[in-house]
């Protein structure tokens, strides 16, 4: 019996390795920022603050690069870890707007792509090009041939484009749509700083916890919190209070609290926060957010940044704890699941999510008007709450991209059939190797035991599914 146990163990062990080895811990993302300073005029300071705030909201493991240009000079900062980005921030601070409209955004995008093609990018994480642009000149004509060539290059290189700026004559609008990125429109009198948060959520679809009147609760599954807080004025000071009533500010903070101050907003990142009630005092406004990294997640692979007006767009999500999906009905029935939707700068509406027997959470989004919408899936129990943020653009005439770029996570994702084939193939090799050491009759008995264990198709599916997802969304500091 003991001999049989060890044989079964050594037959099964390589299947575990083969099924999980290609799914390493989540890698950092690569984000390259193109900042065209030629179209901001007197709004350049606000746009620079927006770009810096967007960059500081990114994960500390992300790699960030910069190409910044004006009429008379340009600056390029190679991709590097975000925590070593002081050169990048100084480069943004030194920018001046040299005009009230942009004439060369086509060329700037093309030159940036050529630069990215000429350098050896570290890692293989997929690249996102984020374009900050102001007002395009009236005489600026969107050249269809140039757009087509740029799109072809971006698709070939698997580069998605996200953008923020004014819509008129802006080539980034179409390039974002073609690459299944997203463009965040900014009206002439709107702030780039406040819209940069929407850009971040569109790119990262982060997880959140409730952050009302400056108060938030950290549960034991959370290992990082990033706060976005609005101030009354640029001269106001925000105070962070921990559960043991210790006070921190942007001038006096320990190593685990990183603080970035802007004209009307502060970003505060807390690493390994103490569980319990926290508060950020003297915040104002309704747009404050508390983003988290944790082992308890609302997971979704929703990838439809553009949706039709009056259409029914289905968004699916799952709960996951310690890399395993939650589908126990006793757990799910004791939780509340809601979907919050809000058109940009308007009040939220709340609807219940449908909870299926498999544990799938299903929401139906049916916008009645064009515009940018923020959507949040919330899962709440007596002890914790977790949210998942999405940003979508509703359009009456939905343009279907001529090409598609797959999401980064799909590049390493095996299908269920592929996983089963790997599982069976590796086990077959070990069975053949064991053939010379044990009798044929013993092999038959062992195989019969294995078939009994995995007889039910659903058991095999759950088994493989858990292996595939074991490390796909492991926390980024692991």
* pLDDT on residue 16: 33
* pLDDT on residue 44: 87
Q: How confident is the model at residue 421 (pLDDT cuts 50, 70, 90)?
A: low
Q: Are the C-beta atoms of residues 127 and 157 closer than 8 Å to each other?
A: yes
* pLDDT on residue 443: 47
- The structure's pTM equals 0.78
Q: Whole-angstrom Cα distance, residue 89 to residue 76?
A: 12
Token code pair at residue 197? 């948060």
Best CA proximity match to 193, nearest among 265, 292, 280, 272: 265
* pLDDT on residue 442: 54
260-277 average pLDDT score: 94
The 3-state secondary structure of 238-265 reads: CEEECCCCCEECCCCCCCCEEEEECCCE
Bigger pLDDT: 157 or 2?
157
> Using one digit for the tens of pLDDT, what is the confidence trace for 17-66?
333 222 223 456 899 999 988 888 778 889 999 999 999 999 988 889 99
| Res. 452: pLDDT tops 80 | no
174-198 average pLDDT score: 92
| Res. 238: pLDDT tops 80 | yes
| Res. 469: pLDDT tops 60 | no
| Res. 439: pLDDT tops 90 | no
Bigger pLDDT: 81 or 333?
333
Q: How confident is the model at residue 117 (pLDDT cuts 50, 70, 90)?
A: confident
| Res. 211: pLDDT tops 80 | yes
DSSP string, 166-213: --TT-HHHHHHHHTT-EEEE--TTS-HHHHHHHHHHHHH--EE---BT
121-141 average pLDDT score: 76
* pLDDT on residue 198: 96
Q: Which of 25-34, 216-225, 288-297, 423-432 has the lowest mean pLDDT?
A: 423-432
> Using one digit for the tens of pLDDT, what is the confidence trace for 347-367?
899 999 999 999 999 999 999
Q: Whole-angstrom Cα distance, residue 411 to residue 55?
A: 25
| Res. 462: pLDDT tops 80 | no
Domains and CATH numbers, the chain: 2-23+413-468 (no CATH), 30-203 (3.40.50.410), 207-294 (2.60.40), 296-404 (2.60.40.10)
Average pLDDT, the chain: 80
Token code pair at residue 128? 């996102």
Q: Whole-angstrom Cα distance, residue 245 to residue 48?
A: 35
| Res. 160: pLDDT tops 60 | yes
| Res. 84: pLDDT tops 90 | no
Q: Whole-angstrom Cα distance, residue 64 to residue 263?
A: 23
| Res. 433: pLDDT tops 60 | no
CA distances from 282 to 56, 139, 219, 253, 287 (A): 21, 46, 23, 17, 14
* pLDDT on residue 424: 64
* pLDDT on residue 365: 96
> Using one digit for the tens of pLDDT, what is the confidence trace for 279-313?
999 999 888 999 999 999 999 999 899 999 999 99
Element (H, E) at 75: strand 74-81
* pLDDT on residue 473: 40
* pLDDT on residue 126: 74
Residues listed for the chain: 478
Q: Whole-angstrom Cα distance, residue 301 to residue 292?
A: 18
181-198 average pLDDT score: 92
89-96 average pLDDT score: 84
């Amino acid at each position: 019996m003991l001999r049989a146990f060890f044989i079964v163990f050594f037959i099964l062990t390589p299947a575990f390795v083969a099924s999980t080895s290609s799914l390493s811990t989540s890698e950092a993302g690569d984000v390259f920022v193109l900042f065209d300073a030629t179209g901001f005029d007197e709004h350049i300071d606000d746009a620079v603050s927006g770009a810096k705030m967007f960059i500081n909201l990114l994960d500390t493991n992300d790699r960030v690069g910069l190409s910044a240009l004006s009429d008379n000079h340009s600056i390029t900062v190679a991709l590097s870890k975000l925590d070593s980005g002081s050169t990048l921030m100084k480069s943004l601070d030194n920018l001046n707007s040299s005009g009230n409209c942009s004439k060369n955004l086509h060329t700037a995008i093309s030159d940036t792509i050529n630069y990215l093609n000429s350098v050896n990018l570290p890692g293989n994480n997929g690249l996102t090009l984020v374009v900050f642009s102001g007002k395009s000149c009236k005489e600026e004509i969107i050249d269809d041939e140039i757009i087509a060539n740029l799109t072809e290059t971006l698709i070939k290189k698997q580069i998605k484009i996200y953008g923020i700026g004014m819509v008129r004559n802006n080539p980034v609008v179409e390039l974002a749509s073609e690459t299944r990125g997203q463009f965040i429109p900014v009206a002439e009198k709107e702030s780039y700083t406040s819209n940069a948060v929407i850009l971040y959520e569109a790119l990262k679809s982060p997880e959140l916890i409730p952050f009302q009147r400056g108060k938030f609760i950290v549960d034991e599954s959370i290992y990082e919190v990033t706060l976005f807080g609005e101030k009354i004025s640029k001269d106001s000071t925000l105070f962070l209070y921990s559960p043991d009533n210790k006070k921190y500010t942007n001038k006096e903070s320990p190593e685990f609290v990183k603080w970035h101050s802007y004209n009307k907003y502060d970003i505060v990142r807390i690493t390994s926060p103490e569980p319990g009630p926290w508060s950020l005092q003297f915040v104002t406004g309704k747009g404050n957010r508390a983003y988290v990294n944790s082992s308890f997640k609302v997971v979704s692979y929703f990838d439809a940044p553009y949706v039709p007006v009056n259409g029914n767009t289905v968004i699916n999500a799952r709960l996951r704890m310690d890399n395993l999906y939650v589908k126990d009905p006793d757990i799910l029935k004791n939780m509340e699941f809601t979907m919050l939707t809000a058109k940009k700068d308007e009040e939220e509406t709340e609807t219940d999510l449908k909870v299926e027997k498999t544990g799938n959470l299903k929401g139906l989004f049916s916008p009645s008007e064009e515009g940018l919408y923020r959507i949040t899936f919330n899962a709440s129990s007596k002890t914790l709450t977790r949210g998942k943020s999405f940003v979508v653009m509703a359009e009456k005439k939905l343009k279907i991209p001529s090409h598609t770029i797959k999401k980064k996570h799909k590049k390493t994702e095996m299908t269920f059939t592929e996983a089963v084939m790997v599982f069976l193939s590796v086990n077959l090799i070990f069975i053949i190797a064991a053939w010379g050491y044990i009798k044929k009759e013993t092999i038959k008995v062992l195989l019969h035991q294995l078939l009994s264990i995995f007889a039910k198709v659903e058991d095999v599916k759950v088994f493989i599914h858990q292996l595939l997802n074991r490390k796909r969304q492991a926390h980024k500091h692991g």
